[in-house]
Amino acid sequence: FAMLPGLNLRMRQILLTRFSDPEELYHASGNALKELEGMTPEAIQALENKDLSESRKIVDDCQRKNIGILAIGDENYPSRLKNIEDPPVVLYYRGHLPDFEETPVISVVGTRKATAYGMNTARQISRQIAACGALVVSGGASGIDSMAMQGAMEAGKPTVGVLGCGVDVVYPVKNRRLFEKTVEQGCLLSEYPPGSPPLGWHFPLRNRIISGLANGIL
């Protein structure tokens, strides 16, 4: 359901409210879908495709690469993320999924081309945020994001990196060691399945997850 073409994120949310779960939606007939308001011919055609081969491949990839799958109906799916207009239907993660409900979450984000002062400040503040007991979430990009994640881990605390590619893809390449350490102490998170490249349009969409998880944003 998360991978079907012809359905925007908003339409997916509407469908999930009309059906009890994705399995019921999977078995819905074309006639039942046509009765729903706002359904386009492209969306109906996509939903009438019952081929699960690509989905099985993704599940197999996740099992082979030790990648966790979190669906929107799962108990551990972050409740705050459900409050945004278009929460991701599925999240993939590597590492240890934190308790987003019990821990205050502060997202720290900023420019890729930061000054030395900005980089140092992001690192120090994130270290202090983590030391005070909050979870630092960032975007895994060069610059401020990387320093935020590094600062949190310097405090001996976990951090979460929300990526604009698959959690098994290292982008930027220079962050390989940072990502490895993140998986050891926290987790990498993405709505894109394993192997997904870092396409430009992924990153603005990724930002809604960073903000949706957080109690506050720096």
- On the question of pLDDT at 5 being above 90, the answer is no
The chain-wide mean pLDDT, for the chain, equals 94
Q: For 78-124, write each residue's pLDDT tens digit.
A: 999 999 988 999 999 999 999 999 999 999 999 999 999 999 999 99
pLDDT of residue 70: 96
> C-alpha distances in angstroms, 182 versus 30, 93, 189?
44, 11, 11
Asked if 112 contacts 82 with a C-beta cutoff of 8 angstroms, the reply is: no
* Secondary structure of residue 217 in the 3-state scheme: strand
Mean pLDDT of 155-162: 98
pLDDT at 167: 98
Q: How far apart are CA 4 and CA 45, in angstroms?
A: 10
User: For position 210, what pLDDT does the model report?
Assistant: 98
Spatial distance between the Cα atoms of 18 and 40, rounded to a whole number of angstroms = 16
pLDDT at 134: 98
User: What are the CA-CA distances from residue 115 to residues 87, 111, 119, 151 (Å)?
Assistant: 33, 9, 6, 16
